[in-house]
Amino acid sequence: MHLLVCGGTGCHASESDAILWNLRDELEAKGLSDKVQVILTGCFGFCEKGPIVKVMPDNTFYVQVKPDDAQAIVEEHIIKGRKITRLLYHDPKTKEPVGDSKHMGFFKKQLRIVLRNCGFINPENIDEYIARDGYEALGQVLSEMTPEQVIEIIKDSGHRGRGGAGFPTGFKWEIARRNKSDEKYVVCNADEGDPGAFMDRSVLEGDPHSVLEAMTICGYSIGASKGLIYVRAEYPLAIHRLQVAIRQAHEYGLLGKNILGTDFSFDISLRLGAGAFVCGEETALIHSMEGHRGEPTIKPPFPAESGYRGKPTNVNNVETFASIPVIILKGAEWYKRIGTEKSKGTKVFALAGKINNVGLIEVPMGTTLREVIFEIGGGIRNGKKFKAVQTGGPSGGCLTEKHLDVPIDFDNLVAAGSMMGSGGMIVMDEDDCMVSVAKYFLDFTVEESCGKCSPCRIGNKRLYELLNHICEGKGNVSDLDRLRNMSLVIKDTSLCGLGQTSPNPVLSTLDNFMDEYIAHVRDKKCPAGKCKDLMEYYIIPENCVGCTACARVCPVNAISGERKEIHYINPEVCIKCGACMEKCKFDAIIIR
Amino acid sequence: MSQIKSLADLRKKREEIKAEMDTRIKAIDPENHVQIKVAMATCGIAAGAKEIMEFFVEQLDRRNIQGVVTQTGCMGYCYAEPTVEITLPGREPVVYGFVDLKRADQIIEKYIKEGELIDGIIPVNYETIDSKE
Ligand SMILES: Cc1cc2nc3c(=O)[nH]c(=O)nc-3n(C[C@H](O)[C@H](O)[C@H](O)COP(=O)(O)O)c2cc1C
Ligand code: SF4
Ligand code: SF4
Ligand code: FES
């Protein structure tokens, strides 16, 4: 038997180490150490319900395990063979415990290519990666294929970059190969700056060798001998696992000189970034690696012509790389069968917001938003109503009910008014105010704009102020046109992708939730009841019995009324603390 | 650690390591292997399910059969313990009751290897926690 204990960032933070040691101690005490192995793995994607312990081979999936539960797991499950019901995942709808991961809605519709080893192998043991056919693709590439053949497979597979823009990977490699130079570089973009995104981090933490192997394959294909991984310093666990992986690959001769006895040599080192969103943009990233300010520059020249130190440089995203070994092993034909006509393979999403199963998921391209939100995600929390889903992070847009059956792929999301981005997916319910959502993303872009060009530096700030104005109830109808016009100008005139996409959350909420904007500017109301300045606590006269409970808790004496008579809130005095509403037993107080 | 000098070396190494990870690798697609579930609730253990389970684990290995042995909770047939559920790839599960070492041996030789039903089948009319959606 194998006990897999999650060692991803989320579970690690909630004491999965202690669970691991307690399990080992318990097994030792019961003389079972040689029968049951305890293995620390990468993220299972179910971090919110972590720490996770999975029992193999029966696939029992324990959630929210505490270090003290180790004894029960060993005594009940391992020795007596009884699943511990209280630690099982309970279906949010039926409230029934689910016996194993194969029956969990969260995992059923997933197809794991990028995350194939996350939560399955010990990422700090290269042997486990090798047992899962790791480095086999590299071996075949180096001993049986020419660089052109490799590029041909990747081109033919239709694989597109997962960093956001969806550029065809094979073509990118081909351009880098064609550009002649004494030196070339392979760069892995692990900056991952989108708020809430942790796809790349999980891959690096859970399966670092897949990225190293793919980068080496890329090096062979384009004619580079040096690889660089640009990873943010805020990812200490990912950095540690990469360092361990690089060391182990060296010891096995899978990195370094004469890899696998061939005459190909390749090395990989890490470059730590300070965690600026704009440094994820490839030209800014390269400048940052060179020790310059992380500011974008105009393309062309593209990095494939003149990148790191002026040499041809191929930049790909972590997830883009992680699929490569599988594509080589299983072939372009196999890969092409997964996905939609123009987007092949799978995509990893970080599912967040008002949804039952928050986590990291991987689905074939072409899966619908409805399947992701209502099947894998288990639907909206607390039985609330779905309102919108934001894809593409701060560069993307909000999609609504009418988009739920859109098959997710690069082109469909753009056609629907959003984009794939790096794979953030934030679900919103009826309680979310869409003007505030747009404001939230703008707040982020204003913070992260590098300031090089005025439309982005000044324009986004003005957009933010205008949104704030509207949320405070000071807006008027003409502001909505100004929002739109300014957004379009910023998009058209900004230098890099940050400014070119930052107004998208504003434009898409304007398109899909115009009535909500109108309510804010004309009626001075926030329909979701989120904008504090626009809400009013109100006592429904029919429901009020005059118990005086509310008047007694009000910290500013805004409530008047005699015992057994209808009470009244003075909106001029009320500070909107909500205390009265909580206290009222007769549901007489509402926000309107 | 010694260096891996060729693709052939890598493959050799993989086969060595794979054996150790067998338990996990087979669990990815249990439907392609023989699945043996031993009921291991109090009633089962009292009746000797533990020895039966160990017997299966050991013998499958020794007789070179690709299979996954797991344990389940009480199947509701306490009177017939130890009970064992066998699922051959592509077939409906079959439950055998009163499994002792002799019957376990027959199950491997006749049912698992030859696909021949043997005595001791209990009609399946329960739902385990595993089969619940
Ligand atoms: C503001 C901005 C931020 C970006 N952040 C990232 C990032 O965090 N990770 C990433 O892989 N690509 C990011 N990109 C995209 C990169 O510029 C580049 O297109 C990508 O790394 C190419 O890899 P791919 O072809 O594998 O997608 C960003 C782009 C912009 C404009
Ligand atoms: S668009 Fe914004 S982030 Fe990009 S270069 Fe201009 S100021 Fe910097
Ligand atoms: S919301 Fe707070 S301040 Fe306003 S009436 Fe109720 S208790 Fe008083
Ligand atoms: S970190 Fe444990 S499930 Fe994600």
Q: Which DSSP string corresponds to A308-340?
A: GGGS-EEEEEHHHHHHHHHHHHH-HHHHHTSB-
Q: How do residues A321-339 score in pLDDT, each as one tens digit?
A: 999 999 999 999 999 999 9
Q: Would you state the pLDDT for residue A347?
A: 97
Q: Is A8 in the pocket of ligand 4 (CB under 6 A)?
A: yes
User: Strands B34-39 and B84-87: what pairing?
Assistant: antiparallel
How far apart, in whole angstroms, are the C-alpha atoms of residue A46 and residue A359? 5
Task: Say how many Å lie between the CA of residue A11 and the centre of ligand 4.
Answer: 5
How far apart, in whole angstroms, are the C-alpha atoms of residue A392 and residue B58? 52
- Token representation of residue A345: 């393979």
Interchain CB distance below 8 Å, A100 and B130: yes
| B33-132 homologous superfamily | Glutaredoxin (3.40.30.10)
More confident residue, B39 or A540: A540
In 3D space, the residue among A167, A289, A147 whose CA is nearest the CA of residue A225 turns out to be A147
- Assign residue A229 a region (left: φ > 0; alpha: ψ between -120 and 50; beta: otherwise): beta
Q: What's the DSSP call for residue A356? A: S
Please provide residue A386's backbone torsions phi and psi, each rounded to the nearest 5 degrees: -65, 140
Q: Would you state the pLDDT for residue B127?
A: 46
- Assign residue A561 a region (left: φ > 0; alpha: ψ between -120 and 50; beta: otherwise): left
Domain parsing of chain B, residue ranges: 1-29, 33-132
Q: Would you state the pLDDT for residue A502?
A: 96
Q: What is the identity of the amino acid at A193?
A: G
How far apart, in whole angstroms, are the C-alpha atoms of residue A213 and residue A326? 11
Residue A278: is its pLDDT beyond 90?
yes
pLDDT category of residue A379 using cuts at 50, 70 and 90: very high
In chain B, what residues touch A93 (CB-CB under 8 Å)? none
- Token representation of residue A453: 């060009």
Tally of CA atoms within 13 A in the half-sphere of A363 that contains its CB: 29
How big is chain A by its Cα radius of gyration, in Å?
Answer: 27
Task: Say how many Å lie between the CA of residue B19 and the centre of ligand 4.
Answer: 27
pLDDT category of residue B131 using cuts at 50, 70 and 90: very low
Full 3-state SS string of A406-473: CECCHHHHHHCCCCCCCCEEEEEECCCCHHHHHHHHHHHHHHHCCCCCHHHHHHHHHHHHHHHHHHCC
Q: In residues, how long is chain A?
A: 592
- Pocket probe mutation, ligand 1, options A281, A287, A348, max atoms within 8 Å of Cβ: A281
Interchain CB distance below 8 Å, B24 and A143: no
Write the residue in B27, B40, B132 that is nearest to A56 by C-beta: B27
ipTM score of complex: 0.84
For each of the domains in chain A, give its residue range(s) and CATH number, in order of start. Answer: 2-107 (3.40.30.10), 126-330 (3.40.50.11540), 346-429 (3.10.20.600), 434-521 (1.20.1440.230), 536-591 (3.30.70.20)
Q: Would you state the pLDDT for residue B45?
A: 67
Q: Across residues B81-100, what is the average pLDDT?
A: 84
- Whether A254 contacts chain B with CB within 8 A: yes
More confident residue, A154 or A105: A154
Long-range contacts (CB closer than 8 Å, 24 or more residues apart) made by A176-180: A176/A222, A176/A224, A176/A304, A176/A312, A176/A313, A176/A314, A177/A147, A177/A148, A177/A151, A177/A221, A177/A222, A177/A223, A179/A304, A179/A305, A179/A312
Residue B76: is its pLDDT beyond 70?
no
How far apart, in whole angstroms, are the C-alpha atoms of residue A476 and residue A465? 14
How far apart, in whole angstroms, are the C-alpha atoms of residue A386 and residue A193? 27
Residue nearest to atom 12 of ligand 1 (CA): A163
In 3D space, the residue among A115, A32, A584, A73 whose CA is nearest the CA of residue A318 turns out to be A115
Task: Say how many Å lie between the CA of residue A543 and the centre of ligand 4.
Answer: 47
Q: Is A456 in the pocket of ligand 2 (CB under 6 A)?
A: yes
More confident residue, B68 or B128: B68
Q: Is A589 in the pocket of ligand 3 (CB under 6 A)?
A: no
Per the CB < 8 A criterion, the answer to whether A469 and A521 are in contact is no
How far apart, in whole angstroms, are the C-alpha atoms of residue A515 and residue A291? 48
Ligand nearest to the CA of A580: 3
Residue to test with chain B: of A3, A58, A77, A262, most B Cβ within 10 A: A58
Interchain CB distance below 8 Å, B40 and A80: yes
How far apart, in whole angstroms, are the C-alpha atoms of residue A494 and residue A507? 16
Interchain CB distance below 8 Å, A81 and B11: no
Per the CB < 8 A criterion, the answer to whether A452 and A430 are in contact is no
Strands (E), A91-192: 97-98, 185-190
Q: For residue A119, which atom of ligand 4 is closest to its CA?
A: 3
Q: Would you state the pLDDT for residue B129?
A: 43
**How many other C-beta atoms are found inside a 10 Å radius of the C-beta of residue A145?**
18
**Which residue's structure tokens are 């029934």?**
A96
When mean pLDDT is compared across A23-32, A469-478, A572-581, B18-27, the lowest value belongs to B18-27
In 3D space, the residue among A382, A400, A378 whose CA is nearest the CA of residue A391 turns out to be A400
Write the residue in B7, B69, B72 that is nearest to A139 by C-beta: B7
In 3D space, the residue among B47, B50, B111, B108 whose CA is nearest the CA of residue B80 turns out to be B47
How far apart, in whole angstroms, are the C-alpha atoms of residue A229 and residue A243? 11
Q: For residue A46, which atom of ligand 4 is closest to its CA?
A: 3
Q: Which residues lie closer than 8 Å to A59 by C-beta, 6 or more apart?
A: A100, A101, A102, B27, B30
How far apart, in whole angstroms, are the C-alpha atoms of residue A276 and residue A192? 9
Q: Would you state the pLDDT for residue A565?
A: 93
In 3D space, the residue among B8, B5, B28, B129 whose CA is nearest the CA of residue A257 turns out to be B5
Predicted model pTM:
0.86
Q: In residues, how long is chain B?
A: 133
Per the CB < 8 A criterion, the answer to whether A442 and A400 are in contact is no
Per the CB < 8 A criterion, the answer to whether A205 and A238 are in contact is yes
